[in-house]
Chain A
Amino acid sequence: MNKKLGFGMSIALLTLLLSACGGNDKNAASSTTSAPESENPATESASAPTSEDSKPVTISFMHFKSDVTDGVAKIIEQFELENPNIKVDVQPVKYDDYDTLLKTKLASGDIVDVFTLNAGSTTKLYHNGGYLEDLTDQEFMKNFDPGVLAEQATDGRNYIMPLNAGPIAVFYNKKIFADLGLDIPTTYDALMESAQKIKDAGKTPFALGWKDGWTLGMWLSRDFPSNTVLVEKQVDFFDKLEKGEAKFADNPAAKTSISHALDLFRYGNKDQLGVDYNGAVDLFAREEAAMMYVGTWPLADIQKKNPELFDSGMGYFPYPFSNDPILNKLEFNPDASLAVNSKSENKAAAFKFLAFMSSKAGGDAWVENAKTLSYVKGASSDIAPAITELQPYFNDGRLYNSQVFITTTIDWNTQFTQYVQKVLFNKSSADDIIMDLDAWVAKNHK
């Protein structure tokens, strides 16, 4: 009796287990297919201009702006209204997984017609693989500033179309700054002095979400090249690094950045590597933390969580990576760019898609829905009240892009980020990790 009961029990549990597995599979499948289904099919029957290209076409569009999936869906809706014969199958992917998924799809012959890419080394890799259509001579590329096009060119040709951009700087809580009588710091030492005063007042100076690797990586991949090129004047450091001719040990900026990381860690929230990006945004939105180094991405989130703070309580200032106020310009980076697959069967439709995105309507749609700035000439720049504080920098052209300094295709940044964490927890000294980094580069350079 006893035996039978136990046996029956285990079998029942096993069936439960199996059925649970089946259920999961189904859920997964339905959630991946639901994205395209949610597109509005009503537009197709709305009008029927009987021209030559009236045959309905579906193009696939994969993007990594999944934090603003709703916003992108609205932009696509607008495009489909204007182009009733083109339907867009949108596939939003989380930024961390994007590259892997795109790579797998392309390598397995699954053709994605249009996809987002980051300018620089990733674009070069995909171009080397032969996946990118040359866009240089397309009419819609004239909607962009030649300087921007030159910055995003690969070997002198444009394989991607610049789409959106934004500053990466420090959000600050105006009330905390006013209460403590703090000015906006323009040098690194002033920034840390303010941080000390905020800490003395019992508040958290910096909201750090370093549980997610990219948050620390994002800061390091800006602080380090800025210090390398602008402070230490090692202009060709990254070129040499790629060839194995330069060493981190010979670049004083490596130590500077490590000590900066230690400062941020010391003045950060409790449990710096246990809190993720969303947790850090929460800390700032709840006004527990005074500053946060980040792009404009959390704005929509902060607006939802604390509208008062969003409207008038927060400001934005350039991150002072050095002690020379002249050098500390505003970091302004390209975000997503668009590429057309060279194997696409619907190139005409894909070009129309890009043409729309480069029109003023398209540019404004991105600004309004995705809360980022657009590279399209004449597009609006009205994202959030906090951003208007940066207007003097835009007006005087006091902008720079530290990402153009990084010309390497080897991924030293992920490695550096992990090594820095060792120093934060006293597992290694700065000198040790610089040696480790050089050893790693020695193995991985081209």
Chain B
Amino acid sequence: MKSLGSMIRREMWYILFLVPGVLLFAFTVITPFLQGVRYSFTNWDGISRKLTYIGWDNYVNAFQDPVVLTVLGNTFKYAIILTIVVNVISVLLALLLDSYLPLRNLFRTIFFLPGIISVVLAGFIWSYNYSQGVPKLLSYFGLDVTSPLGNPDQALIGLIIVAVWQGVGTPMIIYLAGLQNIPAELMESARIDGAGPVRIFRSVTLPLLAPSVTINMLLVLTGALKVFDLVFVTTNGGPAFATEVIATFIYKNAFSSYKAGYGMALSMIFFVILVIVTIVQVSFFRKREVEV
């Protein structure tokens, strides 16, 4: 008992510094989350002051809703393609910008810049590019193209292009930092042993870059699964549900269709899915990491 008391006294300062953060987290994340759990068992319309508890009905509805499956499919398609493309491009950019390239600092800045623009602004810029800029430009070459965002077959690809353009900056910086942590001696000895650039990348660089790969895969994938702003400002889920993702679907149910209770239930299911994806992904990539 005495030792516990002395431990608390010893750790007092640390605990004191933790308090504001914990309080903030409790009131802005935990409390709304618990309230959300409560609403998910009601058929609340978002306005009414009465709550009617309907048990698990919302959850049963969600599992029987065929649209939920389409929406989940769209979301994972978007997230997986985006994660792969962003990571491949940002590794390549990082490799390029890590070598002795003239003006490489300038290029690093240029590739990072799109990430600084707000997503909403980027969405507007690209909506305009797609519907006006690109078709006009290509019409000079005799090509007749229309906005991919207006066609259900291309809309998701159109969104992914915008997201890649915006998203490569931050992973690129993380990969650059990772590359610079790899000791030059390892590369040199590999070269002396007669390994070519591809072999060095595969056997030396990539394994040592694994911690950066883990964190980037995780950040991009979870970010992409939660996408809302980009979809909302460019296509708003259309045309013909082609770009409807979980976040916009929840929003529409909860706010536009006056089904706040159902929206909450969907959010809870989505939360569980996100947790599972994260755990699986982290444990998968952690196994592949190598210590320097």
Chain A residues engaging chain B, CB cutoff 8 angstroms? 2-3, 5-7, 9-10, 13-14, 16-17, 20, 24, 99-100, 103, 106-107, 125-126, 128-131, 210-211, 213, 270-276, 279, 409-411, 414, 418-419, 421-422, 424-425, 427, 439-440, 443-444
CB neighbours (8 Å) of A99 from chain B are 255-256
- Please tell me if B112 contacts chain A, counting CB pairs below 8 Å: yes
CB neighbours (8 Å) of A9 from chain B are 105, 108
A29 to chain B, nearest CB (A): 14
Which one, B74-82, B173-181, B197-205, B273-281, is touching chain A? B173-181
- Please tell me if B241 contacts chain A, counting CB pairs below 8 Å: yes
CB neighbours (8 Å) of A422 from chain B are 152, 240-241
Q: Is the CB of A411 within 8 A of B240?
A: no
> In the complex where A7-B177, A274-B131, A418-B240 touch, is A129 in contact with B152 (Cβ < 8 A)?
no
CB neighbours (8 Å) of B112 from chain A are 13
Which one, B2-10, B43-51, B217-225, is touching chain A? B43-51
Which of B149, B177, B236, B256 is A274 in contact with, Cβ under 8 Å?
B149
- Please tell me if B229 contacts chain A, counting CB pairs below 8 Å: no
Q: Give Cα A237–Cα B37 distance, bound, in whole angstroms.
A: 36
Can you list 8 residue pairs at the A/B interface with Cβ under 8 Å?
A9-B105, A129-B49, A271-B131, A271-B147, A421-B240, A425-B239, A427-B240, A444-B259
Chain B residues engaging chain A, CB cutoff 8 angstroms? 45-49, 61, 64-67, 98, 105, 108-109, 112, 115-116, 118, 127, 130-131, 135, 146-153, 173, 176-177, 180, 235-241, 252, 255-259
Q: Give Cα A128–Cα B46 distance, bound, in whole angstroms.
A: 11
Q: Is the CB of B47 within 8 A of A425?
A: no
Q: Is the CB of B150 within 8 A of A272?
A: yes
A342 to chain B, nearest CB (A): 12
Q: Is the CB of B65 within 8 A of A443?
A: yes
Q: Give Cα A275–Cα B146 distance, bound, in whole angstroms.
A: 10
Q: Is the CB of B236 within 8 A of A213?
A: yes
CB neighbours (8 Å) of B118 from chain A are 24
Which of B98, B115, B146, B240 is A425 in contact with, Cβ under 8 Å?
B240
Q: Is the CB of B176 within 8 A of A6?
A: yes
A421 to chain B, nearest CB (A): 4
Q: Is the CB of A107 within 8 A of B47?
A: yes
> In the complex where A125-B47, A125-B258, A414-B252 touch, is A6 in contact with B177 (Cβ < 8 A)?
yes
> In the complex where A99-B256, A125-B45, A411-B257 touch, is A274 in contact with B147 (Cβ < 8 A)?
yes
Of A10, A129, A270, A427, most buried by chain B (CB within 10 Å of CB) is A10
Which of B135, B180, B238, B255 is A421 in contact with, Cβ under 8 Å?
B238
Q: Give Cα A273–Cα B131 distance, bound, in whole angstroms.
A: 10
Q: Is the CB of A274 within 8 A of B146?
A: yes
Q: Is the CB of A100 within 8 A of B258?
A: no
Q: Is the CB of B150 within 8 A of A271?
A: yes
> In the complex where A7-B180, A275-B131 touch, is A211 in contact with B149 (Cβ < 8 A)?
yes
Of B115, B237, B240, most buried by chain A (CB within 10 Å of CB) is B240
8 more CB-based (< 8 A) A-B contacts, given A14-B173, A279-B131, A425-B239: A6-B180, A20-B116, A103-B47, A272-B150, A274-B146, A276-B131, A418-B237, A419-B240
CB neighbours (8 Å) of B135 from chain A are 271
Q: Give Cα A361–Cα B264 distance, bound, in whole angstroms.
A: 47
> In the complex where A125-B45, A418-B240 touch, is A10 in contact with B177 (Cβ < 8 A)?
yes
Q: Is the CB of A421 within 8 A of B152?
A: yes
Q: Give Cα A100–Cα B260 distance, bound, in whole angstroms.
A: 11
Q: Give Cα A350–Cα B153 distance, bound, in whole angstroms.
A: 51
> In the complex where A273-B239, A425-B151 touch, is A126 in contact with B256 (Cβ < 8 A)?
no
